[in-house]
Structure 1
Amino acid sequence: MINRNNYNVIKLIKISLIVFVCGIHLTAQQSWKSPEVIKRELDTKYRLAIQFEQQGQIDRALDIYQYLFDQDPTNANYYSRYTYRLFELKKYDRLEQVISSYLGNKPKDETALTDLGKLYFSRGDTVLAEQHWEKYWKASNYSQFFTQSLFNCLISLRQYDRAENVITLAREHFGREDLFAIELANFQMMRGKYIKSVQEYLIYGRQNHRNYQYVSNQILRFPNDSSLFIQIDSLVQLEILQTKDVPDLYELRADLLFRFKHYNAAIEQTMIVESLRNNTGNAVLDLATDLLSVGEFTFAEQLYTTIIKKPEFRAAVPKALLGLADAFEKEMLAEQNYSPFDYFYRDNFFFVPEYIYGVSASDYYIGRAFSIYDSVIVNLPKSTYTAKALYRLAELRFRILHDIDGAERFYTDALKSGLDNETRDQCIVRQADLLIARGELKELQPYIRKNIVKYSGRTIEKPLALRYLLGLYYQGELDSLLIYSNDLLGLLGVNDPYFNDVIELQNFTEQFLISGDSDNRNAVRDYLKSELLIRQSKLSEAREVLIYLLENYKDTEIAMPARYRLLQLELFFNDREQSEMTLNFMLSGSSQFADDALYMMGDLAHFRDGDAHYAAWWYQILLEQYPNSFMKDEIRKRLRSMHTTPQNTQEL
């Protein structure tokens, strides 16, 4: 019996030992992590610290950097970010510990050796710092890495003359005048020593001709000073004389001349660039595009015409033809900048129609553009240029002439060409706009849904989704609008230019369209009808609908924006008497659009109608009644420049 009991005890002890050993082994397995896992965790914390820095949460970032450095005191990234912040916060005791620890693992690390000298200097011991730097710089045989590290260190300490001297000594040691040219060029630009900066940039350009593009970008950041331009241009011309047949250098001078509005000289230099690059036409086409972008239409048109006429540019002729037509379009549009509809939720896709008003088919510029596009279609059939020309013709029909049927024919033909994906996408989106312009809202939704499914994940999805939301707005499907708009915000993302447009539509819907009694709901239907009519360019009908709405539902929520819309329509028809009466009613109440309306009245009178006296009257009222308006500074500036006394008009 005793033996059996002993056996059971021994057995129990063995089982307990096995369980204990297994537990230890399991615990060890659970706590052990592979080096790869640890590295991923540390990298995640490192990225988090950088995010905290970007958000201005320096203390939180510093705590993470301290943890990271303690975990891996040999990591250069952790060391660099940690010491940078410690220097910034002047935590010199901790810096000494960190630098010493890092050098203990990497005694020859040139960054840390430079930092140690920086620590001495920051504590006030400049002699020790200079002795330290000189000792280790010499020991490195004036290595370029140590030189650059020391140069940047001295700049961070605002020791600019010492920093420049470091580069001078390095150049003398290696016998190379081009050493650290880009660093010294950027350094001199930072100090405002622009001529010295240009000299170094040109040295950098000689090292590799591809560097001249960077050089050009940097020089164009210099102050817009005519005397400085003359000095810089002289240096560039001298460089051209000393360096034969380098197209990038001529291109640099062309950029400089363009920036200072010497357009003829810029064209001349660009022609030299073309001759040195076998007349590809790329440089001269880019220059023509730049001229268009700054509103120099005559220069652009002349340059496009030159490209078309010169046989050596025959490969660039199709693009030049399209560019010339585009120049005529832009010159025409430049004279049509002021539309009353632009002031209602400015630049918002949902409230501002895309039409251009006041241009007839007999307009000189539109006639020239039409003839060029027709020429491209006839002479370059079945090409990407054909698709682009057809699309542009459709745009002119749609936006300028408001010819919906004519536009549809050209959009359809451009789609059939099937050679240009970008043009195809634009045409698909525009056909949705045509359905809206016809008022065919029932056909709009299935058309958009079909194409969103077909092109899901592509750039075309967003503009189609915007038009789907616009269709819900015009149909008065307000609950669906709010739900769909939230989904659309997720699709767009906060950086999309249309993101704020959707937010404004949501706010407008909640403030004016959903709230209120049955009268407001009836008024909303009329209001949305008028909005659709404006999008259809049926402005007289829209005006009548709004007049009816304000006569029958003047006390509803929607009456406020409706009256502002009516004012815009009256201004469109140049009915000053009715415009003043409508604005007078807005000013007598508490309309949130009143200061915008006053600004619009003055702005249109000033710039569209050329009537400074009438404009000044409205500007004065705006300043008197809305002294805190965000537009007040601009209005005061305009009034000072007018030197005019506002004419009398009706009492407001």
Structure 2
Amino acid sequence: MLFSQDEDQQSADSYFKDGEFEKALIIYQKLYDQNANSSKYLFQLIKTQQQLEQYEIVRKTLLQKVERIKNPVYLIELGYNYQLMDSTQLAEKYYNEAILKVDENPSFAYMIASQFEDHSLLDNAITTYKKAAELNPEFNFNIQLARIYGEQGDIENMFSNYIDYIETKPDFINTAKRAFSDFVSENKDNENNLILKKLLLKKIQLQPDEYWYDLLSWLFNQEKEFDKAFTQEKALYKRNPESLSRIIELAVTTINEKQYSTAQEIFNYILENTQDIETKLIAHQFLLEIETTLATEKDYANIDKKYNALFNQYGKYEQTTGLQLAYGDFLAFNLKKPEEASNFIKQSLKLKLPAFQEATFKLKLGDILVFQEKFNEALIYYTQIQANLKNSTISQEARFKVAKTSYYKGDFDWAETQLKILKSSTSQLIANDALDLKLLISDNKYNDSLHVALKLYAKADLMAFQNKNDEAISLLDKILKEHKGESIEDQALFMQAQLFEIKKQYDKAIVNYQMIIANYKDDILADDAYYFLGELYNNILAEPEKAKGFYERIIFDHKDSIYFVEARKKYRMLRGDAIN
């Protein structure tokens, strides 16, 4: 019997969903007749009758229910049926009667408000919750009210109710952040951002609890106003100086967003406020890496002295492995002393390192050996990582470096073999890089049996890796002149544009990107060209209108692009949309 009813229910629901209301009505009527006390079947029957405009039948049924059963839900349903009959006054009469039931028992509020919400009678639901809260202050309807206000677009009241709820349940703060993220944006002048900021600042003035500083810091992070987020984090730290982890996390985020001066300020603050050696070393390392990023060659000698001063102070032991790894990279890729760098890293590998840390050093050593064009030795270290840490992300990274090294050597077949395996890498970044390199090889390997252009391109790619940017640009010029019209041309234009950007030759980069769009608009690099043009005009050249146009091209013409989500987000921000 129960199984039969379930089947009937599914059939009726399917008919209702498909708009076949007469068929649904027959089954719902049968189910209700068999279960006369079931409000579930009654409401399904009523919904179907209303779709068929059988309002009078519904009215009689509900009047009988209201007379017999003192359930406020039937009053709301009767009122809604009158509303469908355009009898507004009668509808309001029954709605008000339902709300008055809260006076008898405030706990009815959930049931009554929920029924109002089912019919999008949101103002009535708000009235119900507020009335119950006045009658019994122990009830808390902030979450329900916040959700309704959000549906109505009443953002200030939505924020206020979430904030009031956090005041009673501080653990709700991360859930609130997820809710807020749908309504705020990176644009600090967005009206919703300003509303939330005003409410939080008011809370801090009235009662400076930790969670208000936390939320304000989070908001400044969304706006990429990291200096202001830092101010809030300092206030939090002063109230609870047990851990600097939040401030370290903010500093790392700030580096990722290339706001280096703020990052330096934060890491210097960390140095001033910690006695923990490990934390000090992390701060020193990041400060030196930022200094290196911002430095010119004449600054390198001073940075080298700072590294060695730290090694003199803290030693070259297990506790300074992060600093040692960074210094090896600096020696090879900045000071251009790869031999010294590889020897330094080999010394570090003699320490008792955990398996993953050892793999990280071997990965770096492999990179330095590739820099020296000692490809076979590099391959040994990469292969050791794969053998020792199978199926890990670092193992997959090592496999990609095996493929890249083989490609630098001109061994394109072996590179392709490795790249095919990596297409299904658990790391999306590695999978994307592997796919890009595989397409580069496969698109160009078969057009020329001697692989002349592809070998030149791989050599230019290696030069770029070695920071020999001028030589790489010249070699790419050679490809563009001697192999014009071949499939490698758009790749050469793109790599050269990226190198022009590194050298701050933005006009030349723009020309290359435009050439890709003009001549290769249907090929795989067109969306890359649009995106990087958008980034140039948005972040470097301060021409947001031009940037908006390039982001727009990705949104409309390249919906499958890996840049689609970011391009849409940046386009909406430049357009001034209120939400993400």
TM-score, shorter chain, exceeding 0.5: yes
- Is structure 2 residue 94 aligned with structure 1 residue 94? no
Q: Secondary structure at the match of 1:515?
A: coil
Deviation digits for residues 57-90 of structure 1 (CA, Å, limit 9, x no counterpart): xxxxxxxxxxxx9958569xx97x9988776544
Contact 1:83 1:95 in 2 (8 A): yes
Q: Secondary structure at the match of 1:222?
A: coil
Deviation digits for residues 428-464 of structure 1 (CA, Å, limit 9, x no counterpart): 2222322322223333444433321211122212101
TM-score w.r.t. length of structure 2: 0.66
Deviation digits for residues 534-560 of structure 1 (CA, Å, limit 9, x no counterpart): 444456666776677788x65794674
Cα 1:438–1:251 shift into 2, 3 Å: same
Between the aligned partners of 2:178 and 2:137, the Cα distance in structure 1 is: 25
Matched ranges for 1:216-365 at <5 A? 216-223=177-184, 224-225=188-189, 232-233=196-197, 235-237=199-201, 239-240=203-204, 246-256=209-219, 266-310=229-273, 313-315=274-276, 318-319=278-279, 322-323=282-283, 325-326=285-286, 329-330=289-290, 333=293, 359-360=296-297, 362=299
Q: Secondary structure at the match of 2:299?
A: coil
TM-superposed CA distance for 1:472, in Å, is: 3.0
Contact 1:301 1:324 in 2 (8 A): no
Deviation digits for residues 395-453 of structure 1 (CA, Å, limit 9, x no counterpart): 33344444323432444455444456654333222223223222233334444333212
Stretches of structure 2 that go unaligned for 5 or more consecutive residues are 76-97, 551-555, 562-566, 568-573, 575-580
TM-superposed CA distance for 1:222, in Å, is: 3.3
Partner letter of residue 386 of structure 2? I
* Aligned equivalent of 1:424: 358
Contact 1:527 1:546 in 2 (8 A): yes
Contact 1:415 1:427 in 2 (8 A): yes
Partner letter of residue 155 of structure 2? Y
Query: Which of 470, 478, 487 is residue 421 of structure 2 equivalent to?
Result: 487
Contact 1:414 1:423 in 2 (8 A): no
Contact 1:439 1:536 in 2 (8 A): no
Query: Which of 186, 192, 207 is residue 168 of structure 2 equivalent to?
Result: 207
Between the aligned partners of 2:272 and 2:504, the Cα distance in structure 1 is: 48
Query: Which of 187, 190, 194 is residue 148 of structure 2 equivalent to?
Result: 187
Deviation digits for residues 308-351 of structure 1 (CA, Å, limit 9, x no counterpart): 224xx434x74355346525644764x6xxxxxxxxxxxxxxxx
Between the aligned partners of 2:484 and 2:199, the Cα distance in structure 1 is: 71
- Is structure 2 residue 393 aligned with structure 1 residue 459? yes
TM-superposed CA distance for 1:160, in Å, is: 2.0
Q: Secondary structure at the match of 2:429?
A: coil
Partner letter of residue 161 of structure 1? D
Partner letter of residue 429 of structure 1? L
Contact 1:550 1:563 in 2 (8 A): yes
Partner letter of residue 437 of structure 2? L
Partner letter of residue 326 of structure 1? F
Between the aligned partners of 2:272 and 2:503, the Cα distance in structure 1 is: 45
Partner letter of residue 237 of structure 2? E
Between the aligned partners of 1:392 and 1:566, the Cα distance in structure 2 is: 26
* Aligned equivalent of 1:167: 129
Query: Which of 404, 407, 415 is residue 470 of structure 1 equivalent to?
Result: 404
Partner letter of residue 392 of structure 1? A
* Aligned equivalent of 2:430: 498
* Aligned equivalent of 1:391: 325
Deviation digits for residues 598-637 of structure 1 (CA, Å, limit 9, x no counterpart): 999999998999899xxx9xxxxx9xxxxx9989xx9xxx
TM-superposed CA distance for 1:297, in Å, is: 3.3
Partner letter of residue 204 of structure 1? Y
* Aligned equivalent of 2:158: 197
Contact 1:387 1:420 in 2 (8 A): no
Matched ranges for 1:64-79 at <5 A? none
* Aligned equivalent of 2:578: none
Between the aligned partners of 1:405 and 1:464, the Cα distance in structure 2 is: 21
Q: Secondary structure at the match of 2:423?
A: helix
Cα 1:289–1:104 shift into 2, 3 Å: farther
Between the aligned partners of 2:132 and 2:226, the Cα distance in structure 1 is: 42
Partner letter of residue 438 of structure 2? Q
Between the aligned partners of 1:604 and 1:327, the Cα distance in structure 2 is: 26
Contact 2:143 2:162 in 1 (8 A): yes
Q: Radius of gyration: which is bigger?
A: 1
Contact 1:402 1:537 in 2 (8 A): no
Between the aligned partners of 2:339 and 2:29, the Cα distance in structure 1 is: 75
Q: Report which stretch shifted further, 432-441 or 560-569.
A: 560-569
Contact 2:216 2:229 in 1 (8 A): yes
Contact 1:489 1:502 in 2 (8 A): yes
TM-superposed CA distance for 1:197, in Å, is: 1.3
Between the aligned partners of 2:356 and 2:321, the Cα distance in structure 1 is: 10
Deviation digits for residues 31-75 of structure 1 (CA, Å, limit 9, x no counterpart): xxxxxxxxxxxxxxxxxxxxxxxxxxxxxxxxxxxxxx9958569
* Aligned equivalent of 1:515: 447
Contact 2:237 2:244 in 1 (8 A): yes
Between the aligned partners of 1:607 and 1:207, the Cα distance in structure 2 is: 43
Between the aligned partners of 1:375 and 1:283, the Cα distance in structure 2 is: 28
Between the aligned partners of 1:134 and 1:401, the Cα distance in structure 2 is: 79
Contact 1:523 1:556 in 2 (8 A): no
Between the aligned partners of 2:398 and 2:281, the Cα distance in structure 1 is: 30
TM-superposed CA distance for 1:390, in Å, is: 1.6
Partner letter of residue 399 of structure 2? A
Q: Secondary structure at the match of 1:362?
A: helix
Stretches of structure 1 that go unaligned for 5 or more consecutive residues are 1-68, 336-357, 617-621, 623-627, 635-640, 642-652
Between the aligned partners of 2:315 and 2:28, the Cα distance in structure 1 is: 71
Partner letter of residue 181 of structure 1? N
Cα 1:418–1:229 shift into 2, 3 Å: same
Larger relative contact order (Cα-Cα within 8 Å, sequence gap ≥ 6):
2
Contact 1:325 1:372 in 2 (8 A): no
Between the aligned partners of 1:550 and 1:376, the Cα distance in structure 2 is: 47
Deviation digits for residues 499-556 of structure 1 (CA, Å, limit 9, x no counterpart): 333333333323322234x5x54554455444444444456666776677788x6579
TM-superposed CA distance for 1:94, in Å, is: 2.5
